[in-house]
Amino acid sequence: MRKVLIVVGVCVIVMALTVGAFGGGFLIGRLTGRARQTATLTCPEPTIIEITRENTPVAEAEATATPQQPVEVDTPPATSTDFDYELVGEVLGLLEEQFYGELPDQKTLTYGAIRGMLLTLDDPYTSFIDPQVTAILNEDASGSFEGIGAHVRMREDGYLEIVSLIPGQPAEAAGVLPGDIILAVGDQSLVGLGLYEAISYIRGPAGTDAVLTILRANEEEPIIITVTRARIEVPIVEYRMLDEGIGYVQLSEFDANATDRVQDALKDLLRQKPKGLIFDLRDNPGGWLDQSIKVADLFLGKGLVAIERDSSGGEQRFYAYNGDIGEDIPMVVLVNRGSASASEIVAGALRDRGRAVLIGTKTLGKGSVQRPNPLSDGSQLRVTIARWYTPNDTSIHGDGLEPDILVEITDDTPAGTDPQLERAIEYLLQGQ
């Protein structure tokens, strides 16, 4: 055996959909940038480390990383299928001997090694998230953050795209548009970064400027848009009675309290005896798995809600049960390209079970499950562990859900109008 310096510490990983959370489009609030490895809000730290891997089906998996200083370890001879720690140590040694310039510190090298390893997986949602970004994600769970006010996704080609804008927030006011690709924030390129890392460069303290280099369709050259960040409070549930006597509930995110908030809204609306209900999941990027199942259960009688399958063929089924308050009211679900992950689980279940038609445009198609694995230095590894299927065994991932009634909102749609909402009202009043 030879003793070698191990540069790469592999940690086992960890929202967009996790064993606890989903995510497809991610909120850009207090972010600070970049985009190659596709993920939503989704890289921790490599180092000389000892790796333990656990394939736990549903709960959090543990991962332990040792300190970020190089250590000497005994490494068995590598086989053709073994990870070649010795080769990594050889490369590090040559860099230390020959590189003209100053090498980054060991933690930076470790993080870089981990990120490079994850890039080979060709999965945008398996991501290493450093401690700073992990703190941002934890902040998101509170429903309040500081940033520009937009939902983003990492495209398969590694570019960060604006999916939708939060109305009345800085990005919209500055002229950012859905479909814009953010190439850089200030001098920081976002190309090649993981989703969560890219988001970390866009977010930042309220009152500071995010100078975005944007690639826009039909523009020959990138354009520069400066957005002044603000504290953004995300109203998770908004509801009201429409003039036509129809109840309207909008859920913007499946946070830890989503079910209770939707249930409270339903109780208030049902007391007013509405003719039907519109459940608006447009631009809802997802959230917690347990909340998506419970929200669907509010509207469904006993039966299947979703199927989760892992790479080894294992399967887990999630069910709804009788006795909830929203099981009988006629309803429509509004969806669009910003509807992702947990939103797609709920929309797919309600349609497959015959409870609702989908009106709007095709959903994002984020149907994979990520498990968040907290690491010892405050970072996090999010690992794709499974994929989701609707009760009729329809795959969501990569395909999305086609609406039953297609209604598009285009540049020609008159300002202040909502043809998707209008069509939903028409359907509930006329039955078609």
Residues acting as catalytic residues: 341, 352, 366
What number of other Cβ atoms are within 10 A of residue 53's Cβ? 13
Please enumerate in sequence order all residues whose Cβ is within 8 A of that of 412, keeping only pairs 6 or more positions apart, or say none: none
Take residue 354 and report the two structure tokens written for it.
């015959």
Q: H or E stretch including 349?
A: helix 342-352
CB distance 154 to 160 below 8 Å: yes
Q: Residue 125's Cα: distance from chain center in Å?
A: 8
Tokens 């970049």, residue located = 34
Tokens 């902040």, residue located = 139
Q: Is the backbone of residue 309 left (phi > 0), alpha (psi -120 to 50) or beta?
A: beta
- Alpha helices per DSSP H over 99-176: 106-119, 131-140, 170-174
Tokens 């500055």, residue located = 174
Q: Residue 336's Cα: distance from chain center in Å?
A: 15
What DSSP string runs through 168-198? TSHHHHHT--TT-EEEEETTEE-EEEEHHHH
With vertex at residue 357, the alpha carbon angle to CA 352 and CA 361, rounded to the nearest 5 degrees, is 105
d(CA 21, CA 342): 8
Backbone angles phi, psi at 342, to 5 degrees: -55, -35
β 331-335/277-280 pair status? parallel
Please enumerate in sequence order all residues whose Cβ is within 8 A of that of 120, keeping only pairs 6 or more positions apart, or say none: none
Please enumerate in sequence order all residues whose Cβ is within 8 A of that of 309, keeping only pairs 6 or more positions apart, or say none: 315, 386, 387, 389
CB distance 397 to 368 below 8 Å: yes
d(CA 362, CA 107): 42
